Amino acid sequence: MKNRLNINFLGKKLNNPIMTASGCFGYGLEYKDYFNPNELGAAVLKGITMEPRNGNPGTRIAETPSGMLNSVGLENPGIEEFKKIIPSIKKELHIPLVANINGKILEEYIEIAKEVEKITEIEMVELNISCPNV
């Protein structure tokens, strides 16, 4: 029986339409003790910037009666380290990887997009233009 959940998304074949939310799934392997990430349609990876970021200081996550608030501040290792870790991630994840890129100004988005384009394991790019805590 044909898998009825297969979809074509932006020219990429996905086994299903389920993708992770950027920033909530790390680099895709953090959840492998809970389920097989390869069952997803794609993994949208933690946001990346040109330079490494320590993120916001202090309390970053606070539980509320109806959910949680967060102010992580886009902590990430920067594009150069990202380029080094992606090949090992792709060895375990056989689904499309989506890079979530961040910048302060248009030129930064262009610069990081050009760097991500060189990473053959990354199949799609998501622009992070709405992070409220940076």
Q: Active site residue: 15, 131, 132, 133, which one? A: 131
Any alpha helices (H) in 12-56, and if so which ranges? none
The answer to whether 131 is a known catalytic residue is yes
Beta strand 43-44 with 97-101 is: parallel
Which element (helix H / strand E) includes 131? none
Radius of gyration of the chain (CA): 16
117 in the Ramachandran plot: left (φ > 0), alpha (ψ -120 to 50) or beta?
alpha
Q: At what angle do helices 79-92 and 106-117 cross, to 10 degrees?
A: 40
Catalytic residues: 131
